[in-house]
Structure formats: C-alpha cells, structure tokens
Amino acid sequence: MSAFNAIGEEREIDRDEFTPGVEPQPTWCPGCGDFGVLKSLKQALPEVGKTPEEVLTVTGIGCSGKLNSYLDTYGFHTIHGRSLPVARAAKLANTDLEVIAAGGDGDGYGIGGNHFVHTARENHDMTYIVFNNEIFGLTKGQTSPTSPKGHKSKTQPSGSAKTPIRPLSQSLTSGASYIARTAAVNPNQAKEIIAEAIEHDGFAHVDFLTQCPTWNKDARQYVPYIDVQESDDYDFDVTDRQEAAEMMHETEDVLNEGTVLTGRYYVDEDRPSYQEEKAAVGELPEEPLAERYFDDDAEWERSYDLLERHT
C-alpha cells in the first residue's frame, strides 16, 4: 500500500481541518498582519481542494516562521533564510506534495536572498509567501531589506541610508512565473491570490504586506490600498513581461510615498516548472522518491558511481 495514499483523495474538505487539534495560542501580537496570512491560507487551501495531508509548509525564522505551528499541514520550521532549499528538496522527493514556503522579508530577501533568486530562476513548482513587514520583527524591529530609506530603528537610529530592494522586480528578473502582492488588510484579495498561487504550476511568489504594530509604528498600516486589477487608473497585461515590469516599478516607487498598490503583476502559464523539465529529460522517478523510505525492498541507485569515477 502506498505511504502517500491520502494524496489525491477526493473528499469534502472543511476549513477547520487546517486548525491543529490541540490549538496552540498564537504568540503573535494583537493586530499583527501575520494573522492575515494564516487566515488566507486556511480559506484558500480547502477552496482549491487540498487536504492537510497533501500540503507541506516550510518556514524560515522570524515571527513569520511560526506560521506552520498554527496551520495543520505537514510542517518544517527550518533555519533562517533556508525555507526555499528545504522546500525544493521536499518537492523533488515527492512531487505530489503541495509545497508552500514562507518567511519574512529579512528571511527571504536578506539572508535567504540567494535562494530566492535561484528558486525563481529555476521555476520550482511551489508557492512562496513573503511576510513583508519592512523590519526584522522577531528580533525587535531592526532595519530589513524592505525598510524604506530614512527608516529609523535601533540599528539605524539616524535613519537608514539604504535604498530598499524591489521584491517584485527582482522576482520578475530572476524568473518567477507568478508574481503578486497582497496585504493582510485586504483579506478577500489575499485569499484569492493565495489560491491562484497554489494552483499555479511553477514558482509563485506572493509579497504579502503584513503590518507590525509593535515594532514598525512608522509603517503605514497599508490602508487604503488599491487593487490594480480593480482600479480604472491602471491598465496592463499581466502576461506581458514589459508591462508587468513597468507596473511593478511604479508599485515599488509609490509604496514608500504612501500609495499601496496590490494585485497580480505577472502570470506566465506557459513556462514549464523545474519538475516538468526534470521529468522531460528522464531525471524524475515516476514514483515519488520519498515512497522508497517505506519500502524495505527498495533498491537505491546512484546517478553515477562515485567509486568508478575515482578509480
């Protein structure tokens, strides 16, 4: 019998299934935007027909990293900035898994920035949610890669002299095939975007604006926000790379002036995912590799024989 026989099973799914049986009390502060990510995932996962046992949530370190303590899926709370390599390995070992990687702006755009660029470049099939509160929340409010220029914190008391990174533009340049920005203050849009990202085949990056009322009182609470798909002021084609690039640039420019633009920015349904590319060249086992751990008779082979190579 397959160890993964629950995967792909057709049945009614209730949103409450994603709440752990013994419910830990979230240690997030009252009013934290992280609650918005948790809620949108709990709504989106059953909507796209996923059961808890079909999903793996991999998180980095930070307030954001606590996500999988409060979400009843398989979980891996890994080290700072390393959610993506762990998520990639898990997806390659079991391509049937729905893999969601998540972490903060410091985690993903700072210490893990290298993994972000290359996971997007290779178009690994997963959803990547970055909780963007424009600071290091867990360690008490230091400047992060998305803190605006001039932002005052304990590490930059006179105001940051650094220009923030452009997460949407960087994602596009690197090769992500679905790119969106949403905000915890916009729960309906957040749920829809998370559902689309999960259903997308390829690397789906969601920059999720999450307010930190405790350590980032300077930050706008992302209200009012404008949905670029809903507004008559913006008209661009999300499948056109050039138009998407221009729209992202504008979005990143105006955020620090107080105009919060959100929505879908780029969608490429044609580009094959890394997993599809690997399967096409015959380098992905038909049965999930992870199955072999449950099979005492399984034969393990090397892609090449190391001893032979060194003699």
Binding site for ligand TPP (CB under 6 A): 61-64, 80, 103-107, 131, 133, 135-139, 144
Lookup: tokens for 34: 């992280």
> How far is the C-alpha of 43 from the C-alpha of 182, rounded, in Å?
15
Q: Name the residue nearer to Mg ion (CB basis): 133 or 275.
A: 133
Residue 213 interacting entry, from ligand TPP, ligand SF4, Mg ion, none, C-beta within 5 to 8 Å by type: ligand SF4
Cα separation, 244 vs 266, whole angstroms? 6
Give residue for tokens 């391509």: 95
Rank residues 52 and 75 by Cβ distance to ligand TPP and give the closer one: 75
Sign of the CA dihedral running 142, 117, 252, 181: negative
Region of 75-83, 131-139, 171-179, 288-296 interacting with ligand SF4 (CB under 6 A): 131-139
In whole angstroms, give the CA distance from residue 260 to residue 237: 20
Q: Pick the piece of the chain touching ligand SF4 (CB under 6 A) from 1-9, 150-158, 213-221, 245-253.
A: 213-221
Identify the helix (H) or strand (E) that includes residue 103: strand 98-104
Of 164 and 202, which has the nearer Cβ to ligand SF4?
A: 164
In the complex with ligand SF4, which residue's Cβ is closer, 208 or 215? 215
Residue 250 near residue 258, CB atoms below 8 Å: no
Q: Which of 37, 55, 56, 63 binds ligand SF4 (CB under 6 A)?
A: 63
What CA–CA distance (Å, rounded) separates 170 from 231? 24
28 binds ligand SF4 (CB under 6 A): yes
What's 123's DSSP letter?
A: T
The footprint of ligand SF4 (CB under 6 A) covers 28-29, 32, 34, 63, 133, 137-138, 212-215
